[in-house]
Amino acid sequence: MAVPKSSKKAIDEEFERLVKIREIQLDPEALKFLENACGSLGSKNMLDFRGPMKRSLLHYAAMGDCSELIRHLLLNNAAVDVRDRNKRTPLSWAAEYASLNAVKILLLNGAKINSTDDMYTTPLTWLLLAGPNNNHSAATASYLRKMGGKEKGMKRRWILKKLHLF
């Protein structure tokens, strides 16, 4: 699972970008997980490591649109549809963060476009409800729809929000 020299610099830069994501900056456990992951990227056990909320390194790489890291993990047999504690897949996180390159790579490697989490929410729905409001979101939403992405779970989330359960 050694990182090729041609990819090492790009992956290091992607790790630097990951720790600048607000959700990660605010979570000391996530920062520690990523620090450990960066240090043991060549380890055979790296694919089994889980961070806070049982997120794998692939989940975090998808959030940060870390194309080179995602390719490296998938080439080393990381499960493309691995689920975190809330049953969210890396594709779900990539969609929420409007990480278009990550979305494309994950779908090309067999990620299920309409996978649902524990709230029956699809990746496209996460993008529409929680994603950033910018050009990246529009392009990512367009691509997900083009690939067959469906909006599911919005009504359930709306109800839970009205009941102050979400």
CATH at residue 11: 1.25.40.20
- Of residues 88, 158, 94, 149, the one with CA closest to residue 129: 158
Question: What pTM value is reported for the model?
Answer: 0.91
Provide the domain limits for residue 146. Answer: 5-162
CA 34 to chain centre: 14
Query: What are 71-120's pLDDT values in tens digits?
Result: 999 999 999 999 999 999 999 999 999 999 999 999 999 999 999 999 88
Would you call 71 exposed, middle or buried from its count of C-beta atoms within 10 A (0-12, 13-18, 19+)?
middle
Residues 139, 75: Cα–Cα separation, whole Å: 26
Note whether 57 and 69 are within 8 A (CB). yes
How many distinct structural domains can be found in the chain? 1
Query: What are 22-55's pLDDT values in tens digits?
Result: 999 999 999 999 999 998 888 878 888 999 999 9
Q: What does the pLDDT average to over 59-71?
A: 98
Per DSSP, the chain holds a count of helices (H) and strands (E) of 10, 0
